[in-house]
Amino acid sequence: MIAVCGFAFIVAILIFCGYFDAVSHLALDHDNWHTAAFCTASPAVVASCSWFTYRRWRQSRRLTDELNTAFEKCHQMELELLEAQRLGTLGQLAGGLAHEINNTLQPVFSLAGLCLDQADLPDRTRERVEKIVAAAERGRNISRRALIYSAEREGDTLPVNLSETITDILAFLDETTISSVRIDPAIVPSSATVRVQPTELMQVLTNLVTNSADAMDSKGIVRVSCDYPSAEDDPLVSDFPDSRGVARISVADHGVGMKEGIRQRVFEPFFSTKKPRKGTGLGLSIVYGIVERWGGRIRIDSTEGEGTAVYVLVPLEPHNTTNRRGSNE
Amino acid sequence: MNRMLLVEDDEFACSALRELFEENGWQVVVAENGIEAMRHMTQISFEVIVTDVFMPEMDGVELVRQIRLTDKTQKILAISGGGAGMGSDKAVDIIEAIGADAALQKPLRNEELLLAVDRLTAA
């Protein structure tokens, strides 16, 4: 479009100049020097004015683009702020709830324990009390994992042991996601740490696992793995400084997959392929924002009809040196 | 007999813990919050204080701070269920930093709790 307009503009200038050139020759032929001088100078004046106008137009277009980009960025930040506020409230709620659950479970543990201490307790009663303790134990685990949500959100990032924290988060997600979706963890054990906020790690995994579950129509297995690849294993590793290792978290499903055109847009805010009210279109854009803050990279492999795998690469803390199996050297 | 001050605002947790400690040879005095605990402490001395962290009026953090102003040797075990906006781990860290000898996250199995009290009083 711009090329066509530019071409038309140049042709118009040439025609214009040609017209003045012809008039100037005619004036010279009739010894009319004033007309001839005017006609000779006019094309230069018109061309200068046109060039000036064209440059101003280009400049205003560039400024408009910059303004639009700034608006978009501002809008994105506003969304992130709203999401952070929402999660902050959720964190408060989870913390308060966990406090109540923990206090409620304490007498269950104490009194059930005292019952079990009785030597003359009938076997059947003992079995029942043991079941009460087992149920309370499950409640305790759920409550402790829920507390990950209630950590301070505004705080700095912390050195977090990735394999232990992901294992805890997945156990929590496995308890809380619908039973027809199973999480299959493949976590390479390691003492390596990454600098993140645990709540953000939980948010990233929750969003990715939820997307996978939705892509499989809430039926199937979501494979979540964590390993420490080299540059040969994963080309994205070469984006990180050599001296630092990289942890890779992947969430893979065998759901509907994506077309290339959709894959390219999934990190855009409000872009969603889900049914109305099933998704806000913010999940992956928030994941992207968090991973950027960690200094990490994100990649999506997807084949329509076969499934999707999302890879999140995070730099390890500088003092970590981790081999491919994950054990410290 | 060993004397213990149990500071706990939750009615059920308090009665269960009291029963547990009494069954294990402790003479237990109960306080609902830090203010009540301070009042007991002016009248009786205790071998150990087991205190909850989040309580109305005066919480466990303030109680530990007040005790440590005058008494550096009183044995204190803090037990916390966590609270709104604060994970249990963090509450436990804070109260240990302020001066509790040990801090644990509720709910606790009897053997965990009794072992912690035994270690503290044996030290």
Alpha-carbon span A129 to A150, nearest angstrom? 32
Please say if the pLDDT value at position B116 is more than 70. Answer: yes
pLDDT at site A324: 42
DSSP state at residue A328: B
pLDDT of amino acid B86: 47
Across the interface, whether the CB atoms of A110 and B54 are under 8 A apart is answered: no
- Count Cβ–Cβ pairs < 8 Å, chain A vs chain B: 98
Q: What's the pLDDT score for residue A154?
A: 47
Query: For residue A277, what are its two tokens?
Result: 């009210």
Instruction: Give the best-scoring range by mean pLDDT among B17-31, B52-66, B101-115.
Output: B17-31
Contact A109 B108 (CB under 8 A): yes
This prediction has a pTM of 0.55
Asked if A129 contacts A116 with a C-beta cutoff of 8 angstroms, the reply is yes
| B96 pLDDT above the threshold of 60 | yes
User: Which residue's entry shows tokens 């969003």?
Assistant: A207
Report how far residue B123's alpha carbon sits from residue A199's, in angstroms, rounded to the nearest whole number: 38
Nearest-CA distance A78 → chain B (Å) = 23
Q: Which residue in the block uniquely carries the two structure tokens 């009290």?
A: B117
Q: Under a CB-based contact definition with an 8 Å cutoff, are residues A266 and A309 in contact? A: no
The reply to whether residue A113 touches residue B17, judged by beta carbons under 8 angstroms, is no
Question: What integer is the mean pLDDT of B25-31?
Answer: 95
Return the residue in B90, B94, B111, B115 with the most chain A beta carbons within 10 A, the one to mutate for interface testing: B90
**pLDDT in tens for each of the 329 residues of chain A?**
556 666 666 666 666 656 666 666 666 676 676 666 666 677 777 778 788 888 889 899 999 999 988 888 787 777 777 766 666 676 677 777 888 888 899 999 999 999 999 999 999 999 999 999 999 988 887 777 666 655 544 455 678 888 888 988 888 887 766 677 889 999 998 888 898 877 788 889 988 998 898 888 878 899 999 999 988 888 888 888 766 789 999 999 998 888 777 777 777 665 666 655 555 556 787 788 888 888 889 999 989 889 999 999 999 987 655 544 444 33
Domains belonging to chain B, first-starting first, are 2-122 (3.40.50.2300)
What residues in A contact B110, CB-CB < 8 Å? 109-110, 113-114, 117
Please state at what angle helix A283-293 crosses helix A33-117, rounded to 10 degrees. 90
The phi and psi torsions of A265 (rounded to 5 degrees) equal: -110, 0
Q: Are A78 and A140 in contact (CB under 8 A)?
A: no
Inter-chain touch A95–B107, beta carbons under 8 Å: no
The answer to whether the beta carbons of residues A183 and A173 sit under 8 Å apart is yes
SS3 A313: strand
- B57 touching A (Cβ < 8 Å): no
Which residue's structure tokens are 């890879």?
A311
Distance CA A3, CA A172 (A): 58
Give the per-residue pLDDT at A203. Answer: 83
Is the minimum CB–CB distance between B19 and chain A shorter than 8 Å?
A: yes
> Taking the domains of chain A in order of start, what are their residue ranges?
2-75, 80-147, 157-315
Chain B partners of A100 at a C-beta cutoff of 8 Å?
Answer: 81
Per-residue pLDDT for B54 more than 70?
Answer: yes
Domain with residues A157-315, CATH architecture:
2-Layer Sandwich (3.30)
Looking at the complex, report in whole angstroms how far the Cα of residue A154 sits from the nearest Cα belonging to chain B: 11
Least confident of A94-103, B3-12, B20-29: A94-103
Per the CB < 8 Å rule, is B84 touching A111? no
Closest chain A C-alpha to B29 CA, distance in angstroms: 18
Check: complex ipTM more than 0.95: no
Contact B10 A106 (CB under 8 A): yes
pLDDT at A323: 44
Phi, psi of A225 (to 5 degrees): -125, 160
CB contact under 8 A, B82 and A99: yes
Residues of chain A in contact with residue B109, where contact means CB-CB under 8 angstroms, are: 109, 113
- For residue A88, give how far its alpha carbon lies from the nearest alpha carbon of chain B (Å): 8
Most A CBs within 10 Å: which of B18, B108, B115, as the mutation test of the A interface? B108
d(CA A93, CA B87): 11
Are A198 and A160 in contact by the 8 Å Cβ rule? The answer is yes
Cβ contacts (< 8 Å) between B111 and chain A: which residues? 113
B106 in A contact zone (CB under 8 Å): yes
Q: How buried is A59 (Cβ within 10 angstroms: 0-12 exposed, 13-18 middle, 19+ buried)?
A: exposed
Alpha helix (H) residue ranges in chain A: 2-29, 33-117, 123-146, 162-176, 198-215, 260-263, 283-293
8 Å CB contact between A310 and A215: no
Question: Contacts of residue A117 in chain B, CB cutoff 8 Å?
Answer: 23, 110
**Contacts of residue A221, Cβ cutoff 8 Å, sequence gap at least 6:** A181, A182, A183, A184, A253, A254
- Are the CB atoms for B120 and B2 separated by under 8 Å? no
Contact B28, B6 (CB under 8 A): yes
Is-cis flag, bond preceding B107, omega within 30? Answer: yes
Report whether A161 contacts A188 (CB < 8 A): no
Q: Which residues of A171-188 are buried (b: 16+ CB within 10 A; e: fewer)?
A: ebbbeebeeebebebebb
Residue from A90, A101, A103, A105 whose CB has the most chain B CBs within 10 Å, to mutate: A103
